[in-house]
Amino acid sequence: MSSMKQDGVLLLGSLGTGMLGLGELYRDLNYEVFGYDDKLNDFCVDQGKAFYSVKNINSETRFLKRDQIMQLITDKKFKEIVFSSAFQTRNLLQDIFQYGIQPKHRFEAVCELFRDKKKILVSGSHGKTTISAILTHLLNAKEACSFYLGGKLLGYDRYAKLVRETNLAVIEGDESDGSFLKMIPYIFVISSIDVEHLEFWKTESLLDLSFYSMGLCVPKCYLAYSNSENRIGLVSSRAKFIPQFSFVNTREGVHFSFEYDGKNFDAFLPFPGQHYARNALCAFLVCYEFGCEPRNLLQRLASYRGVSRRMEVLRKTPLIVSDYAHHPTEVSAVIDSLKNSYQEIVIFFQPHRVSRTKITFSMFKDLFKTVSKAYVLDIYNPLEQNSSCNSEELKELSKLLANYSGAEYLPCFEEIFLREIGRGEGDIYLVIGAGDIDERARHILERV
C-alpha cells in the first residue's frame, strides 16, 4: 500500500451501477480508485484480478478489506470518500464519521465533477437510461460529450466518461432517492412518472411535486410523452412535449414517423417497441434544439447499439435477451413490443424488492397470460434485509405473484432455464428483472 498515490478516492458500495460509472469519471481525472462492497468478502479481495475478470469487475479499481480502509483513512490517503444510497446505513459508514470525515453521496460527487458543464439531466420512472444513452450517442456525432449513465453504453463500453475539452454532458439522475434534485441542469428531461419508489416518496403527490419543481427551476424542460399525458401540470410554456407519432414494430426494431417544426420525419431504431420510439423521439428533439442536423440524427438513431440489460442479446441461437424491466408498466411494454413479431415467447421474471412488489401487486394481474410461458422467481430483496418479510413469507409472496400474473412459480432458476433453452421451442427467451437474474443467466450461458 505504500506506493499508493495521494489523490485516492474510496467508493463505498462500489459494485453498484452508479458507482461503476463514478469510478470511470474519477479515473478520467487521474484519480486512483479504491472500492469496498459487501458483495466482495476478504477471499474475493485476496484473489485480485483473477476474481474480478470472472465477475466482470473493472480490475482498475483496487478493492480493499475493512481493516485496510481504516488504516488508510488514518494515514489520510483518500481525497474523497463517496457512498451510494444502498450503502448509507452500513456500520462502516458510521465508523468513518467517527474520524471526522464527511463522505459524499454518489450524486453529490457527480454534481461536483460536472459542475462546469452544460448539463442535460434525464430522470423519471421508466426509460431514463435509454433516453440518456440515445442522447449520448446522438450528440457524440457532433462533438465528444461527457456522460454518466445507469448502464454500460454498448459500442462505447463505458458507464460514464468525462471529456475535459468539451462543455456538454448527459447525466442520468436517480429519482428513487430524490438525489436528482441536487443538480440544476440546463435541460431537464422527464422520461415518465409512475407509481414507483413510494417507500421513499411516501405519496404520489410528493413524487409528482419533485418533478414539477425541477421543471420550474430549469431553463428548458422536455417530456417524453404528449401534453395529454401530462400528469404533473407543467404548462407548454415551461415544457416541450413530444408530438404524436405512428409506429410499426418488426423483429429488427421500430419504424416511427412524426411531424415537428413543420417538417415530416421517418425514423428507425433497432429496438422494437412504442416505448423505444417515444424515448428516441424525445432524444431527437433535444438534439434538434441543439442545432444538430436532422439527417445526421436519423442516421445515428439507426446505428444505436443499446445499453446493457436493455433488450440486450445474450445469445442469438436460441435468441436469449436480457432486460432490466421490473415495474409492471415496463414488463408490459417489453411484452407488447415483441408479441406481434414472435409467436413463442418464454419469460423468466425476477421481481425486485418486497416493498415494490406489494405496492404494484395489483398491476401484475394476468400480465403474463399473453405469452407462451412465463416463470416467476423468488423476489430479489437484498436492500430490504430489515423488512418484516422473512424468507418463507418472501417465497409465499413470490408464489402469489406468479399465480396472480398468470405465470408459474420457479424456485430453481438454473434447472428450468437450461431445460427451456435446451428444448429450443421458444422464438425468444426473455430474462427480465433488476436483480441478479441477468448475472445468473450469463454465468449459466458461459458453461453451455
Q: Residue 255 above 60 pLDDT?
A: yes
The CA-atom distances, in angstroms, between 53 and each of 38, 87, 161 are 18, 24, 21
Give the right CATH number for 8-106 from 3.10.105.10, 3.40.960.10, 3.40.1260.10, 3.40.50.720.
Answer: 3.40.50.720
Taking only the tens place, the pLDDT of each residue in 49-58 is 444 443 455 5
Residue ranges matching CATH 3.40.50.720 in the chain: 8-106
**Sorting pLDDT into bands at 50, 70 and 90, what band is 397?**
very high
The predicted-structure confidence for 77-108, as pLDDT tens digits, reads as follows 898 999 998 875 567 888 888 888 889 999 99
Say yes or no to pLDDT of 287 above 90: yes
CATH architecture of the domain formed by 114-302: 3-Layer(aba) Sandwich (3.40)
And the C-alpha cell for 77?
Answer: 490517503
Residues of the chain with CATH 3.40.1190.10: 114-302
122 pLDDT exceeds 90? yes
Q: How confident is the model at residue 67 (pLDDT cuts 50, 70, 90)?
A: confident
Domain 312-447 sits in CATH at 3.90.190.20
Domain with CATH 3.90.190.20 in the chain: 312-447
Report pTM.
0.90
* Rounded Cα–Cα distance for residues 433 and 353 (Å): 11
- pLDDT band for position 23 (50/70/90)? very high
